[in-house]
Amino acid sequence: MDIFETIRIRRSVRDYKSDPIPEEKLRKVLDVMRQAPSAGNRQPWKFIIVKDAKIRQEMVVTCGAQPFLSQAPVVVVACGIEKVAWHGVGGNRSASAVDIDVSIALTYLTLAATAEGLGTCWISAFNEACFKRLLKVPEEAKIVSVTPLGYPASPDLLHPIKENARKSFNEVFCDNVYSYKDETI
């Protein structure tokens, strides 16, 4: 599957089979995060790969996470390390690229997973303090996002999106300068 087809069929999957992911396939899709670009090549990240069913269940029960986190055989918790990240985003010397860098790496994972027939779901609504306690994440690290990783419960969960579900090309792109054309504010 080429990259354009992968992007076209990637979906947020919220229903998973409990089937384990073969170790070779798991390492293949996880390794793309390590290869992702980061500002100044700082690589300000650490990824917690949660395979333990008891911990995944605790994420749901104790921390109030979405129930489908416990369905997938793997949960990836993407952490950013602020002090390692490059600072200077937008000319602001105190603005860090940590969220951007970790998000790029996690996007690589979502695409690699899709190409391998696996599902993911980008989750930003979670109880960070609870997750940090449960997963022993140190104070200097922040959890940027979480995604389950596993086989979709149904193969039709990975499919092309309906064209009208996205804004038109002209609504998204501007020539040379920012334009409000075709935009409701």
pLDDT above 80 (res 9): yes
* Residue 19 located in a structural domain: yes
76-110 confidence digits (pLDDT tens): 999 999 999 999 999 888 899 999 999 999 999 99
133-148 confidence digits (pLDDT tens): 999 999 999 999 999 9
Whole-number pLDDT of residue 158? 73
* Residue 137 located in a structural domain: yes
Burial class (CB in 10 A: 0-12, 13-18, 19+), 78: buried
* Residue 77 located in a structural domain: yes
Query: Which string of DSSP letters, residue by residue, matches the chain?
Result: --HHHHHHH--B---B--PPPPHHHHHHHHHHHHHS--GGG---EEEEEE--HHHHHHHHHTT---GGGTTSSEEEEEEEETTTS-B-GGG-TT-B-HHHHHHHHHHHHHHHHHHTT-EE--B--S-HHHHHHHHT--TTEEEEEEEEEE-BSSGGGS-PPPGGGS--HHHH--SSS---TT---
Whole-number pLDDT of residue 184? 58
pTM of the model: 0.91
Whole-number pLDDT of residue 182? 58
* Residue 173 located in a structural domain: no
Whole-number pLDDT of residue 127? 94
Whole-number pLDDT of residue 183? 58
More confident residue, 9 or 43: 43
* Residue 182 located in a structural domain: no
For residues 150-158, give the mean pLDDT: 86
114-130 confidence digits (pLDDT tens): 999 999 999 998 999 99
27-69 confidence digits (pLDDT tens): 999 999 999 999 999 999 999 999 999 999 999 998 888 999 9
More confident residue, 60 or 182: 60
* Residue 171 located in a structural domain: no
**Domain harbouring 22, CATH code:** 3.40.109.10
More confident residue, 181 or 106: 106
Question: Phi and psi of 87, rounded to 5°?
Answer: -115, 140
* Residue 74 located in a structural domain: yes
For residue 115, the enclosing domain spans 3-158
* Residue 165 located in a structural domain: no
**Count of domains in the chain?**
1
